[in-house]
Chain A
Amino acid sequence: MKNQKTTILIIEDEKNICEFMSTSLTGHGYKIITAQTAKEGISLVTSQCPDLILLDLGLPDKDGICVIEQVRNWSLIPIIVISARTQEKDKVLALDLGADDYITKPFGIEELLARIRTALRHSNMAGSSSQAKIFKAKGLKINFDKRIVTINDEPVHFTQIEFKIIALLAKHSGKVLTYDFIMKQIWGPYMEEDNRILRVNMANIRRKIGNNPAEPQYIFTEVGIGYRMIEEDDITNGS
């Protein structure tokens, strides 16, 4: 990893945004290639094999959603979708079609870097079978094997379902998981559409791991989309 730079492909038609992203990402040691259209983007994915794709959903020639579908046909390259605030449906669709994460315009460069790190970490981990056995973040510790959750070394008791949810979120920490994805993972594919049961469980989890349900520390809500667990400690600075 040291001598070979991580390549990021930016598919974005706005020249200014493209420029600002590539300038600051280059400054952080990434190699950047850019494409203005979906067609150009897809051909660059095949020819350059980037390590990560930043994809704007509103492209001039095709919907960005098509790019996700096409790339996911043959590749697991992490894709981070860039979208505007008001398009929750597009975000959910993009995530359900296989995008790894999304970031809402306008975003700070810190936020973008964090998302990129998370996505790269997950894609690296997918290759190796050595999944971490313990999750640690800001005093929250989850032992997946022993099914024990502690906060500041105080054990917290969870129901079966609650533990499944929190473990699932922790395994994908830093990444947003859609309601649909969580529902299918926890309750199986035949669960009804209503995700209220999930949100009630989430409310209970929030009460168990934090003092104030309106100021969560570990699990954040992306209203209309899903949940995101806080990034794991230590790993963010490594590799």
Chain B
Amino acid sequence: MIHFTFSPLQIKRFFTNLLITFIILAVITASSFYLLQITSNSACIILQYILGLVLIARYTDGYWYGIFASLISIFCVNFLFTYPYFAFNFTLSGYPITFFCMSFISLITSLTTTNLKKQTKVALEREKLLQEAEKEKLRANLLRAVSHDLRTPLTGIIGSSATYLENKERLSEAAKTDLVTNIFEDSNFLLNMVENLLSVTRISCNNATVSKALESVEEVVSEALLRFKKRVPTATVNVTVPAEVIFLPMDAVLIEQVLINLLENAVFHSKSTRPIECQVIESVKEVSFHIIDYGVGICEEEIDTIFDGTVYNDNNSNSHKGMGIGLSICKTIILAHQGTIIAKNHKEGAEFIFSLPKESD
């Protein structure tokens, strides 16, 4: 018969189902009594019980409750609503047919509803899988773009170290230093890349938001600058922040990443050694950060797509091509802060401006 392994959940389900069955039967029986008082039409009563059976099949799991209910219904109809009242009489003509019909109806409706429930479940699961696949596709695209940028420095590192290990005796000291310097530079580039990618994982996947806390702007700027100078010791940056302390809601780690990316971009793409300006300007509703360089500026046709991560400047053959991804990460971060970021040219070079709103909502 019913095969139960008695886990607490299953026991709970069993009793809920049983309760539903009995409540529906009780309601039907009560209303049948009422109907019999007014109409004294027993056909109506049979129909009511059938309705009850359909409902039970719909709201319980499996078909055993339906069959059980149909049995009870038959006894109820026989005992309560057919002559002789309040007594069983199974010798009435056609009674086996009634019995058979009621069981059959309950069985079929139970089976149908069970089937239906299963199908809905399957459909829901399929939808979930499709969504997952979509996300997976996005991730794969990003991975492809990234691995391209990762492979180049890795090839350099492996090549240089292999050369060193294989030709240790024959290489001059200067050549050795060169090789190790290459390895050092390439691995620093990789590190920068990885930190950028890691920062993206701080942005919540579901609604592209970040967890903000009130941070003092000058502290964030000064730490970003410190980290930047550690990475590019030769660069000079002139910073100006407002005399007043500004507290701004943000994820400090991410905003530092944006500042570092923009500063680095300014150093490596301006082709100029003039100091970079970094200015923080407060207005009524937002705080804007300006990174200004005095170099070659941005190509006019690139200005609109510079944050899309697809910029590969062909005539620019230095090793810092990965900045395309750096800038697109800047945009992702700023958008997650409900801020804006733009790039433009001024008379003597390029300027990147991002603004963050003062109120978090």
Contact = CB atoms under 8 A, between A and B. Distances in A.
B195 A199 contact: no
A223 B245 contact: no
Interface residues of B, number: 29
A213 B244 CA distance: 10
A200 B223 CA distance: 17
A224 B216 contact: no
B125 interface: no
Contact of A223 (B195, B220, B239): B220
Contacts of B216: 199, 202-203, 221
Given A86-B198, A196-B247, A214-B225, A223 B219 contact: yes
B253 A88 contact: yes
The residue in B215, B222, B252 that gathers the most chain A C-beta atoms within 10 A of its C-beta is: B222
B239 A215 contact: yes
B214 interface: yes
A106 interface: yes
B191 interface: yes
A206 B222 CA distance: 11
B225 A215 contact: yes
A207 B245 CA distance: 10
A202 B219 CA distance: 10
A63 interface: no
A222 B195 contact: no
A220 interface: yes
A85 interface: yes
Nearest to B245: A203
Contacts of A221: 216, 219-220, 222-223
A214 B215 contact: no
A213 B253 contact: no
B67 interface: no
B223 A222 contact: yes
B282 interface: no
B214 to A, nearest CB: 7
Contacts of B201: 86
Contact of A203 (B218, B221, B253, B280): B218
Interface residues of A, number: 21
A82 to B, nearest CB: 15
Contacts of B222: 213-216, 220-221
A212 interface: yes
Contacts of B202: 86
Given A85-B195, A215-B225, A199 B219 contact: yes
Contacts of B213: 224
B241 A220 contact: no
B219 A212 contact: no
A200 B218 CA distance: 11
A223 B216 CA distance: 9
Contacts of B158: none
Interface in B186-230: 191, 195, 198-199, 201-202, 213-216, 218-223, 225-226
B240 to A, nearest CB: 7
B61 interface: no
A46 to B, nearest CB: 36
B256 interface: yes
A222 B201 CA distance: 21
The residue in A85, A206, A207, A223 that gathers the most chain B C-beta atoms within 10 A of its C-beta is: A223
B68 to A, nearest CB: 54
A220 to B, nearest CB: 7
A226 to B, nearest CB: 11
Contacts of A215: 222, 225, 239
Nearest to A220: B226
Interface in A175-212: 196, 199-200, 202-203, 206-207, 212
Given A200-B245, A221-B223, A223-B256, A213 B195 contact: no
Contacts of B191: 106
Contacts of A202: 216, 219
A212 B280 CA distance: 13
Contacts of B221: 214
B235 to A, nearest CB: 13
B323 to A, nearest CB: 20
A214 B240 contact: yes
The residue in A86, A202, A221 that gathers the most chain B C-beta atoms within 10 A of its C-beta is: A221
Contacts of A106: 191
Given A85-B198, A213-B218, A223 B253 contact: yes
B239 A214 contact: yes
Interface string B340-361: 0000000000000000000000
Contacts of A223: 215, 219-220, 223, 252-253, 256
Contacts of B220: 221, 223
Contacts of B252: 223-224
A142 B62 CA distance: 81
19 contacts: A86-B199, A86-B201, A202-B219, A203-B245, A214-B218, A214-B221, A214-B222, A214-B241, A215-B222, A215-B225, A221-B216, A221-B222, A221-B223, A222-B223, A223-B219, A223-B252, A223-B253, A224-B213, A224-B253
Interface of A: 85-86, 88, 106, 196, 199-200, 202-203, 206-207, 212-216, 220-224
Given A223-B252, A224-B253, 11 more contacts: A203-B245, A206-B218, A213-B218, A213-B241, A214-B221, A214-B225, A220-B223, A221-B222, A222-B223, A223-B219, A223-B256
4 closest Cβ contacts across the A-B interface? A221-B219, A203-B245, A214-B239, A223-B252
